[in-house]
Structure 1
Amino acid sequence: MSKDTSTLLPLNPMHLPEPPSWFPLAWGWWTLIASVIVGLLIVWLLLYRKKRHLAAKKTAQRLMASHQKPADAIELVRQAALCYFPREEIAQLTGKEWYEFLDSQLNQPVFIANYELWQQALYSKHPIQETHTLLQDCSFWIDQALPPKRKRRSARG
């Protein structure tokens, strides 16, 4: 029996093929990579667009903290409104029409109720006591009305 085992033919060891490599990638992987890149680009563009859209509001909020006079504050409100609304619509508004426009952008009107106070603050030589209230109204309008909501914009037009 031992003689039979020695008569076996000498065989070379088994040769296995190389394991598959990662490259070149299959088309599914390329599609996944392209989809992720396009998705990240879209998200970045949306965030950049939103930041640019809110830039005027943030600037107005920052500047509002430094204004102490109602005339300066209402001018800042007009400038902020010009950034978001059509110039042809805003530039022609004066007096009650201007305050009605401001109130139309808010859920609770605050400017028409203080119309006489605004007129005193803007055109009187003597300072008024309610300056803080008027400044708060302007700050409230910037916080609540900007940027304009679509439903409010279409309700005006």
Structure 2
Amino acid sequence: MSTTNKESLLPLNPMHLPELPSWFPIAWGWWASVGGTLLCLLTLWLAYRWNKKRLAPKKAALRLIQAGGKPAEAFELLRQAALCYYPREEVAKLTGKEWYAFLDTQVKSPLFLDNYELWQVALYSKEPLINASELVSHCSQWVDEALPPKRRRAKVG
């Protein structure tokens, strides 16, 4: 008994393949990755805003000091900038040599106490000074180096 090849095949239905897996809903790991990325971006954005807000008085003081040309105006702007960053109770009461000493303790190289007499002439004389631009640059340098204050600083007063 010989059977042909056609007769030996069983009558089977055609093969049905399952549907391809969809992208949605995605696995929890992908949600965690997206959430972590968003959290990192939010943290970076908040840090940028905080730093921008923290440096705003310094940038404004530098811009105004460099725009003006008189040492008395620059010195007043320096005092206002210092009041933005240092405790008012500590800074507002300082005058004269105590104020200059405070300024010098906040920077690496002293700029003000060594030039005390020159600053007194610049602040209280109506005559223009020859080296007024040097005094204005000292104010600009102090604002640039001392603000915002470092965590560890010397106390004066």
Same fold (TM over 0.5): yes
1:141 pairs with 2:142: yes
Question: 1:3 Cα deviation (Å)?
Answer: 5.1
TM-score by length of 2: 0.92
Distance across 2 between alignment mates of 1:132 and 1:2:
116
Q: Report SS of the residue matched to 2:133.
A: helix
- For residues 25-40 of structure 1, the aligned pairs below 5 Å read 25-40=26-41
Question: 1:58 Cα deviation (Å)?
Answer: 0.7
- For residues 87-102 of structure 1, the aligned pairs below 5 Å read 87-102=88-103
Aligned to 1:16: 17
- For residues 36-75 of structure 1, the aligned pairs below 5 Å read 36-75=37-76
Aligned to 1:6: 6
Question: 1:20 Cα deviation (Å)?
Answer: 1.3
Superposed CA deviations along residues 49-87 of structure 1, whole A, max 9, x for unmatched, are 011111111111111111111110100000110110111
Task: Provide the aligned C-alpha RMSD in A.
Answer: 1.7
TM-score by length of 1: 0.92
Distance across 1 between alignment mates of 2:123 and 2:10:
112
Distance across 2 between alignment mates of 1:96 and 1:110:
12
Letter in 1 for 2:155: R
Aligned to 2:106: 105
Superposed CA deviations along residues 98-157 of structure 1, whole A, max 9, x for unmatched, are 1111101000001001000000111123222121111111011011111111122xx328
Letter in 1 for 2:4: D
Letter in 2 for 1:23: F
Runs (4 or more) in structure 1 with deviation over 6 Å come to none
Distance across 1 between alignment mates of 2:98 and 2:73:
19
Q: Report SS of the residue matched to 2:114.
A: coil
- For residues 142-157 of structure 1, the aligned pairs below 5 Å read 142-152=143-153, 155-156=154-155
Question: 1:12 Cα deviation (Å)?
Answer: 2.3
Identity between Structure 1 and Structure 2 (%): 59
Letter in 2 for 1:156: K
Superposed CA deviations along residues 14-54 of structure 1, whole A, max 9, x for unmatched, are 11111211111111111111111111111110111011111
Distance across 1 between alignment mates of 2:2 and 2:20:
39
Q: Report SS of the residue matched to 2:113.
A: coil
Question: 1:2 Cα deviation (Å)?
Answer: 8.9
Structure 1, unpaired ranges of 5+: none
Distance across 1 between alignment mates of 2:145 and 2:65:
14
Structure 2, unpaired ranges of 5+: none
Distance 1:65 1:3, change over 3 A: same
Q: Report SS of the residue matched to 1:32.
A: helix
Letter in 1 for 2:12: L
- How many residue pairs get matched? 155
